[in-house]
Amino acid sequence: MSTLAQRSPFRTVHTSRIEIRCFGGFRLRVHGRPIDYSTIKPRTRTALRLLAMRAGHSVHRETLIDALWPGTDAVPATHNLHVTLSSLRKFLDTEAGGSCQLARSGDAYQLVLPTGGYSDVATFGAAIDTAHDARLAGDFDTLAVALRTALDVYHGELLPEDGPEEWVVGTREALRRRAATAAVDLARSAMLRDDHDEAVSAAEQCTEIDRYCDAGWRLLIDACTRLGDRAAAGRARQRYAEVVATLD
């Protein structure tokens, strides 16, 4: 195994004390047990999701206030925030047994996971970063593993239950673009290795993530053609043409 692979920060085994997943919908598990958070108030649930998608990173008080009480005066909004986060702390202490803590540093808050805790967003980001380092180092085995990890983690858009809320839209779109790019990169890597089955799978995932990704469609058609599957290549061309037609 290469040195880069040995120091890779992402985890591929999802058997941790606490698991936070935000791709394709929010899920919280403690020792494998799903946690029902419908018992806490809606804004407390929103605060949990916002902090969860940035687990391990600080979120400033103003960011939380703008997301939860947009347009509200500072004094009542700050009071509301303290009440909401107090409720969230109690929920985490009760349901997560203190294994997931809400920490404060000045005017910022952070959802802190224990050693071995799992966050799909953090794992995705670490895998993308590892892929970038591997590409620069010319370590193509680690590159492929990192890209596969990122795509395995990406189970759908970030927190779809929060719809077009401003606090999530920008991050959601950025992660979606990174996932589509990872799929293109994996498909290209597979083509260079003459692994056309993986190229087809990665290219198909790209078109599912971003139906307007030109590179994904072209790679899918090319990989199907190289596999000798003319019918699949024809279907991909037809679907691609239909997508292009929607842009006219």
3-state secondary structure at position 232:
helix
- Between CA 174 and CA 191 the distance in angstroms is 26
Residue 14 — pLDDT band, cuts 50, 70, 90? very low
**CA 194 centroid distance within chain:** 29
Q: Are 209 and 183 contacting, i.e. CB atoms less than 8 angstroms apart? A: yes
pTM of the model: 0.89
Return the biggest CA–CA distance within the chain: 67
pLDDT above 80 (res 8): no
Residue 17 — pLDDT band, cuts 50, 70, 90? confident
pLDDT above 90 (res 26): yes
Q: In 54-139, which ranges are continuous DSSP H helix?
A: 61-68, 74-95, 120-137
Q: 48-103: per-residue pLDDT in tens?
A: 999 999 999 999 999 999 999 999 999 999 999 999 999 999 999 988 876 788 99
- Between CA 88 and CA 59 the distance in angstroms is 15
Phi, psi of 165 (to 5 degrees): -60, 135
| Close Cβ partners of 77 (under 8 Å, ≥ 6 residues apart) | 65, 68, 69
Q: Are 187 and 216 contacting, i.e. CB atoms less than 8 angstroms apart? A: yes
Q: 203-226: per-residue pLDDT in tens?
A: 999 999 999 999 999 999 999 999
| Torsion on CA atoms 12, 14, 18, 24, rounded to nearest 10 | 90
Q: Can you read off the two tokens belonging to residue 108?
A: 């910022």
Q: E strands within the chain? A: 18-21, 27-30, 33-34, 59-60, 101-105, 108-112, 118-119
